[in-house]
Amino acid sequence: MRCGACVSVCQFEALELEYELIPGDGCIECGDCAAVCPVDAIGCYHEI
């Protein structure tokens, strides 16, 4: 399931949600998206 919570909290609008989460060039690895993920699916992209 892809809920999109991560995309909605990204203050830099750097995430795209297609078949998988795609961090864009504006991503500064702040970890906000990982913090709101209800299934902890973003841990591999960001280290908090």
Q: What is the set of domains in the chain, with CATH numbers?
A: 1-48 (3.30.70.20)
For residues 15 and 30, the answer to whether their CB atoms sit within 8 Å is: no
Q: Express each pLDDT in 32-41 by its tens digit.
A: 998 999 988 8
pLDDT for 44 beyond 80: no
Give the closest residue to 6 by CA, choosing from 37, 48, 39: 37
20-39 burial, b at 16+ Cβ within 10 Å, e below that, comes to ebebeeebeeeebbbeebee
d(CA 3, CA 1): 6
pTM score above 0.95 = no
Q: What is the mean pLDDT of the chain?
A: 83
Instruction: Name residues whose C-beta falls within 8 Å of residue 39's C-beta, 6 or more positions apart in sequence.
Output: 1
